Amino acid sequence: MFEYAPAPESRDIVDIKPSYGLFIDGEFVDADTSFKTVNPASEEVLAEIAEANAADVDRAVAAARRAYDGVWSRLPAAERAKYLFRIARIIQERSRELAVLESIDNGKPIRESRDVDVPLVAAHFFYYAGWADKLEYAVRDPRPLGVAGQVIPWNFPLLMLAWKIAPALACGNTVVLKPAETTPLTALAFAEICRQADLPPGVVNIVTGAGETGRALVEHDGIDKVAFTGSTEVGRQIARAVAGTGRRLTLELGGKAANVIFDDAPLDQAVEGIVNGIFFNQGHVCCAGSRLLVQESVADELLDRLKTRMATLRVGDPLDKNTDVGAINSAAQLEKIRMLSEVGEKEGATRWSPPCELPDRGFWFAPTVFTGVAQSHRIAREEIFGPVLSVLTFRTPQEAVEKANNTPYGLSAGVWTEKGSRILWMAERLRAGVVWANTFNKFDPASPFGGYKESGFGREGGRHGLEAYLQ
């Protein structure tokens, strides 16, 4: 075997401070309490992070309101665009630093943070910068909403920030954003970038903290809009809190996407698509292709190929440039993945993982596939949010559609076939916000993203993404 020598990306480029304050009104300010963020690959404590309480959130919302009334809503649209372009360029200039920081705090492989996350972050800012002075071509009489309260998850910390902040600012809103408690570092680096770009104070405010901070933010009377990406459970709570307040709401929640493989699929690329669908970002992807629906006539051949391919996945140090699968983001998430995998075994599905050595410290889970899964199994119903694939079979296109749609979720789906007419037939019937044909997990700022049913509502990205931030 051709062994690849370790090829670690240098950590020297990032400068993690021992502690971070809240970013309010253009300044970093202290809070009464704090929490720690750790490197999930080593359990090393990275920094002490300020925890915003209700009073801090109050101050942040007030700052955002002042910035909205006093500066941002009065600025000519082309001026707003200039700031966004400037931010996009700084992100590109600091891309290596942001990628390393993201991998350290989140556990994702540097190959992904470097080649996927950070380039998409910059692309998002460039894209919405371009819209800022052309809004009237998207909607009639575009007017901003005011102050947006935004809560984002830990799976794509900086990318979700970009999905939230770029369209909000382009449309003329100001924001208070709460990053996830396990991954605050790149959001705080973004706060520095806002200063570097001379963004007027208060236009972007970052309040770090856990669930309580998020609750204080989404329930705050001073905001006009709530945008949330995260679990369906929390999404429900937020919907209840916002109901009747007149505040606008968009939710991007969980998923249990079907990746449908027909017998005439390009099999080698389908295998890549399956791997990319479920093992990308350790499966911490709301639109992950976590249910593989494969036509029975090619199931055995496809699974053989898939297992052979899975044996080549390199699991380990997120900073190694050759790592394919990194660390699970937190102990709690690891526990959830373990629990659901054990449930899968108990339910009678067959569990398989390639032989792979996992590091002693940190949070790790080997890429896993369950075969012989039935629609009634929990591992076919519930979102695992980890590198665990459930394999089901079908006989006809009708059955594939039925099974694919038979889920409370509806965020994404994949269709693999060489037959163009079948792709269109399937796409018409799949109840999912995104349907990928002969590919999976492809993102582009110009393409709207969002869900059906319990996967939420509202769209992010593209022209559609503007509507969430305009009256």
Partner 1 sequence: MGDAVCVSTETLPGLVTGTAELRRFLHGLPGVDQVGAEERAARLATRSIKKSAKAEAIDLAISMVDLTTLEGADTPGKVRALCAKGMHPDPSDASVPRVAAICVYSDLVAEAVRALAGSGIGVASVATAFPSGRAPLDAKLADTRRAVEDGASEIDMVIDRGAFLAGDYAKVHDEIVAIKAECGEAHLKVILETGELVTYDNVRRASWLAMMAGADFIKTSTGKVSPAATLPVTLVMLEAVRDYRARTGRQVGVKPAGGIRTTKDAIKHLVLVNETAGPDWLTPEWFRIGASSLLNDLLMQRRKLTTGVYAGPDYFTLD
Residues that bind partner 1 (CB under 8 A): 1-5, 7, 111, 115, 264-269, 272-273, 312, 321-322, 418, 438-439
CB 309, min distance to partner 1, A: 9
CB 204, min distance to partner 1, A: 33
Nearest by Cα to 210 from 317, 52, 93 = 52
- Identified catalytic residue from 252, 382, 383, 467: 252
- How many angstroms separate the CA atoms of 222 and 56, rounded? 13
Query: Is the Cβ of residue 312 or residue 376 nearer to partner 1 in the bound state?
Result: 312
**Are the C-beta atoms of 445 and 123 separated by less than 8 Å?**
yes
Angle between helices 232-242 and 211-218 (to 10 degrees): 30
Query: Is the Cβ of residue 115 or residue 335 nearer to partner 1 in the bound state?
Result: 115
Tell me the HSE value of 101 on the side-chain side, using a 13 A CA sphere.
23
CB 416, min distance to partner 1, A: 8
- How many angstroms separate the CA atoms of 430 and 313, rounded? 30
252 included as an active-site residue? yes
Q: Is 221 exposed, middle or buried (0-12, 13-18, 19+ CB in 10 A)?
A: exposed
CB 285, min distance to partner 1, A: 17
CB 276, min distance to partner 1, A: 9
Which amino acid is residue 356, in one-letter code? C
- How many angstroms separate the CA atoms of 322 and 254, rounded? 29
CB 308, min distance to partner 1, A: 8
CB 100, min distance to partner 1, A: 14
- How many angstroms separate the CA atoms of 38 and 225, rounded? 31
Query: Is the Cβ of residue 265 or residue 411 nearer to partner 1 in the bound state?
Result: 265
**Are the C-beta atoms of 98 and 110 separated by less than 8 Å?**
no
Query: Is the Cβ of residue 95 or residue 438 nearer to partner 1 in the bound state?
Result: 438
Query: Is the Cβ of residue 132 or residue 261 nearer to partner 1 in the bound state?
Result: 261
- How many angstroms separate the CA atoms of 175 and 165, rounded? 7
- Return all residues near 186 (Cβ < 8 A) that are at least 6 apart: 98, 101, 102, 105, 157, 158, 161, 179
How far from the centroid of its chain's Cα atoms is residue 11's Cα?
A: 24
Query: Is the Cβ of residue 34 or residue 322 nearer to partner 1 in the bound state?
Result: 322
CB 282, min distance to partner 1, A: 17
**Are the C-beta atoms of 281 and 324 separated by less than 8 Å?**
no
How far from the centroid of its chain's Cα atoms is residue 86's Cα?
A: 24
Query: Is the Cβ of residue 341 or residue 417 nearer to partner 1 in the bound state?
Result: 417
Query: Is the Cβ of residue 58 or residue 264 nearer to partner 1 in the bound state?
Result: 264
Query: Is the Cβ of residue 245 or residue 269 nearer to partner 1 in the bound state?
Result: 269
CB 266, min distance to partner 1, A: 4
Query: Which residues does the annotation mark as catalytic?
Result: 252
